[in-house]
A and B are shown apart, each in its own frame.
Chain A
Amino acid sequence: DAKTTQPPSMDCAEGRAANLPCNHSTISGNEYVYWYRQIHSQGPQYIIHGLKNNETNEMASLIITEDRKSSTLILPHATLRDTAVYYCIVRSNTGANSKLTFGKGITLSVRP
């Protein structure tokens, strides 16, 4: 049972920033927010994760609200290759809740 809510789809123009929202209002103090994406016919690809501070890596930035009830994944300059299903997952780093539970994700379509 996924603990996150994502809109089913969104699109953005190539070269523009893609901001993907995620709600996780029941997140616990020891649970991280993880983002994966799945490009058609490929395995899920890890993007980024965070606990409460904003995080940035070579792929994306993760902005987590102060109350940690929602977050936004930002792809700063979307390309056509970023078209994929993006999964926001809440996950503990201990015990049974350390499982990755994938929901339906959000389908991002990047248009030329």
Chain B
Amino acid sequence: DAGVIQSPRHEVTEMGQEVTLRCKPISGHNSLFWYRQTMMRGLELLIYFNNNVPIDDSGMPEDRFSAKMPNASFSTLKIQPSEPRDSAVYFCASSLDHTDTQYFGPGTRLTVL
């Protein structure tokens, strides 16, 4: 089993640029989660999907952030325009159902200059 796959693993961009992070959940999992981890705020949930439908996006910091899940095997988290305070590690996780055990990907380390 390949586990949750995230790309890119590292991203360095300049303020104002668009950033797209990608996630492939574990096959057969119906729920997908996006988290962000910073030193100041720790690990926090941004949004989660169930059966490709966004269920709770209350953690999305502002309108610059958007997430999509066009099919069961792919999701994106987009930041447009990016700002230095968006620098963080972004994790994707998936589970069979949103109440089941979540399995995390390796993360994408984003640096916005």
- A residues near B, CB below 8 A? 34, 38, 42-46, 49, 92-94, 96, 98-104
Point out the residues of chain A lying under 8 angstroms from B98, CB to CB. 98
Q: Is the CB of A98 within 8 A of B99?
A: yes
What CA separation (Å) do A93 and B104 show in the bound complex? 18
- Contacting pair B42 A102 (CB below 8 A): yes
Contact: B107 with A93, CB < 8 Å?
no
- Number of A-B pairs, beta carbon distance below 8 Å: 39
Residues 90-113 of chain B, each 1 if its beta carbon lies under 8 Å from chain A, else 0? 010100001101111111000000
Q: How far is the CA of A98 from the CA of B107 in the complex (A)?
A: 22
Main SS of the interface on chain B?
strand
Residues of B within 8 A of A103 (CB): 42
Q: Is B19 an interface residue (CB 8 A)?
A: no
Which of B43, B102, B104 has the largest number of chain A CB atoms within 10 A? B43
CA distance A45 to B33 in the complex (A): 15
Q: How close is B77's CB to chain A, nearest CB, in angstroms?
A: 15
Measuring CB to CB, which residues of chain B are less than 8 angstroms from any residue of chain A? 4, 33, 42-45, 48, 56, 91, 93, 98-99, 101-107
Q: Quick check: B105 and A94 within 8 Å, CB to CB?
A: no
A-B contact pairs, 10 of them (CB 8 A): A38-B43, A42-B106, A46-B101, A46-B102, A46-B103, A46-B104, A96-B56, A99-B48, A102-B43, A102-B44
User: Which residues of chain A have C-beta atoms less than 8 A from B99's C-beta?
Assistant: 92-94, 98
Cβ–Cβ contact B106 & A100, under 8 A? no
A99 touching B91, Cβ below 8 Å: no
Q: Which residue of A lies closest to B92 (CB)?
A: A43
Give every chain A residue within 8 A of B101 (Cβ-Cβ).
34, 46, 49
Taking a contact as CB atoms under 8 Å apart, the answer to whether B103 and A104 are in contact is no
Give the one of A102, A103, A104 with max B CB within 10 A.
A102
Contacts of B56 in A (CB 8 A): 96, 99
- Find the B residue at minimum CB distance from A44: B104
Chain A residues lying within 8 Å of B104, measured Cβ to Cβ, are 43-46
B45 touches A100 (CB 8 A): yes
